Amino acid sequence: MPQVKPQVRYVRAGAHDSGQRIDNFLIKQLSGVPKSHVYRLLRSGQVRVNGGRAKPERKLEEGDEIRIPPVRVAEKGELVRPPDEVLQRLRDSIVHEDAHYLALNKPAGYASHGGSGLAYGVIEAIRAWESYEFIELCHRLDRDTSGVLLLAKSRTALLRAQKAFQHGLSDKRYFALLVGRWKGEAREVDAALIKTRTDGGEGFVELDEEDGKPSKSLFTPQARYQDATLCEVEIFSGRTHQIRVHSLALGHPVAGDRKYGEREVHKPLRERGLKRMFLHSHFLQLAADADFPKLIVSAAMPDELRDFLDKLPPLRR
């Protein structure tokens, strides 16, 4: 059955909507759409109240006419099959498979899972292969991060991996190109992190020693360039955006990171051709546990990152 494309909707505010902010009204109307997208619709002027643009804090009155632009929202329970080229690309990304686990060298640009406005992610695509009776993510990678992504083929394998991550029985290492010249050798960041939101509804992570969760990262320089430093980063916890926020705390944001750090700081590297965030999970190890042997998975740095490093002038001492 062909899908009906979403259309512009006009909604009349009722008595129960009077006094409610337009952003909160839209969030309810567009259930399943990420808040960040709702605020983009407001900022771009696509949402109108009585024919005029509306700021997020605009309070509605009974009888107001609200124009809601077309937004595709998957119905609850609706399954969206990823395109065949996505399924094949992820098949080509397999770097390890055994009786218990499947590991991919996840390409940048693919979310680990669907939701928050995304029709599908890696896990939904792999399920669409219809090759496994059980398959679940053991952990997640940011959408713009490439590298080792581990999935379990059984509940016991999943619990073993989660236990390893939670109790320090894993070794996770990344390559991160950091903006600026690194002084000295390895540096450790032991700083608690907490999730929060901007006034516009966009989620982000920041340092918070009082209410945050313990987080530790070790940055070790591998190569030094005129405007950047390639580091291997070992993480001893798996917090959201951990490397990105810890590197920013050191004064060296991850190159190409559009979320953290000042935009102008990244300009010299963008001008040299960097088109994505330079963060790649290259190594994962789980300690042996009961019937599970030690697991070691590595993922080569993708060509677009290697080629970019080749363009960078080395630091002359």
Active site residues: 142
* Residue (of 175, 179, 196) closest to 257 by Cα position: 179
- Placement of tokens 């083929």 in the chain: 153
- CA 213 – CA 191 distance, rounded (Å): 8
Which residues does 227 contact at the CB level (< 8 Å), separation at least 6? 179, 180, 181, 268, 269, 312
Q: In angstroms, what CA-CA distances link 170 with 149, 166, 237, 307, 311?
A: 14, 9, 10, 30, 34
SS3 166: helix
CA 262 – CA 196 distance, rounded (Å):
19
Q: What's 2's DSSP letter?
A: P
